[in-house]
Amino acid sequence: MLNKYARAFFTRVLTPFAAFLLRRGVSPDAVTLIGTAGVMAGALVFFPRGEFFWGTIVITLFVFSDLVDGNMARQAGISSRWGAFLDSTLDRVADGAIFGGFALWYAGQGDDNALCAVAIFCLASGQVVSYTKARGEAIGLPVAVNGLVERAERLVISLVAAGLAGLHKFGVPGIQVLLPIALWIVAVGSLVTLIQRVVTVRRESAEADAQAAGEAGA
C-alpha cells in the first residue's frame, strides 16, 4: 500500500535531484550501487553496536536512491531490463543488511536469542515474499495481490522504530521497546503476506490449468 502512494509523492519531490545528477554525468546504475553500499554501511556498522539512531539516519539518506535511480532512467530514456534486475537484486541485499544488523545486535550485545531469531525470520520472510511474486510472474501468472506488509511497510516500520529506539542513548527512557515490537509486527505481517501470495498463486495456477485443459479439449 505504501509503495503506491509514497513512491508517487517522493518521485515528484526527487525529480529535480535526479535531473541534477544526470546533468553531472552520473548514471542510474551508479546511484543504485552507491545507495545499496550506503544502506549496508549504515546497517552493518551502526546496528550491531546498538547505534540505532545514527544507523537509521545513514540508511534513510541512502534508501531514497531506490527512487532516484528509476527516476533518472526514465528522464534519460534509458530504462532497461538490466537496470530493473540490478535494482531489484540490490534491494534484497539492502534489506538483508538491515535485518542482519538487527540480528547481530541481539546475538551480541543485545543478548536476546528470541529477538535475534525474529530478526532472522524478518530477513528470510522478506526475501521469500519477494520471491513468490517474482516466481509466480515468471511462470505467467499475474499474482494479483500485494499483501499486508510489502517492502515499503517493512522498511518504514522497522526503521522508524529503530530510529526512535536509538533515542534511548540520548536519555529518553523506555523507548527502546519499540524495536522489538516493530520486529514482531514485521514478522507476523510478512508471514500473513507470504500466505496471501501463496494462496493467490495457487488459485491463479489452478484457474490457468483449467483454462488450458478446456482449450485443449475444445
Q: What are 148-202's pLDDT values in tens digits?
A: 999 989 999 999 999 999 999 999 999 999 999 999 999 999 999 999 999 999 9
b/e per residue, 18-31, with b = 16+ CB within 10 A? beebbeeebbbbeb
Query: pLDDT band at 13, cuts 50/70/90?
Result: confident
Residues 70 and 87 sit within 8 Å (Cβ to Cβ): yes
Q: Is 80 annotated as a binding residue?
A: yes
Q: Considering the entire predicted model, what is its pTM? A: 0.90
Q: Is 166 annotated as a binding residue?
A: no
Q: Is 193 annotated as a binding residue?
A: no
Query: pLDDT band at 3, cuts 50/70/90?
Result: low
Percent of the chain whose pLDDT exceeds 70:
95
Catalytic positions, please? 91
| Rounded (10°) angle between helices 113-138 and 178-217 | 20
Mean pLDDT in residue range 84-97: 93
Q: How many residues does this entry show for the chain?
A: 218
